[in-house]
Amino acid sequence: MNKNNKDDFVSVLDDISSELPSLDHAEQLQKRAAHYAFDWPTIEPVFDKIQEEIEELKEALAHPDKEAPVQQQHIIEEMGDVLFCCVNLARVINVNSDTALRSTNQKFINRFQYIEKAVHKQGRVLGEVTLDELDKLWGDAKKASE
């Protein structure tokens, strides 16, 4: 008699709440899978997988020949794969992906506000400034924050 009734299947992932913020959810899924040896033995394949997923996203973006909703869904899936792999990299290097992203968000805010203030001091508004000018100011903001 088979004790493994397929109707009684319980996944080792079932108790991970899908209500978690998406970065935390991805990290918990990956930690659980890694606990059961579904993980790379070194970091290099993690980088390779990220690159592979970026290439697949580029490919999805380069071929807009599908119907718009179908194409957009494909792009969403590929972008999700890139993010999932980046969360995996964070997990492997013992960095909390949410903490890292929050830190980068704040860094972006600080630098962008530097740009806004610089443009304001020039008596201009953001919409009047060229991308080249903004890029130079971004470089100035980076230097100022070092």
Q: What is the pLDDT of residue 3?
A: 57
Q: What is the CATH number of domain 19-95?
A: 1.10.287.1080
C-alpha distance from residue 110 to each of 33, 96, 114, 126, 136 (Å): 37, 21, 6, 16, 15
- Mean pLDDT, range 25-51, rounded to an integer: 96
For the entire predicted model, the pTM comes to 0.84
81-99 pLDDT, tens digit per residue, is 999 999 999 999 999 999 9
If you ran DSSP here, which 8-state letter would residue 13 be given? T
Model confidence over 54-81: pLDDT tens digits?
Answer: 999 999 998 776 677 788 899 999 999 9
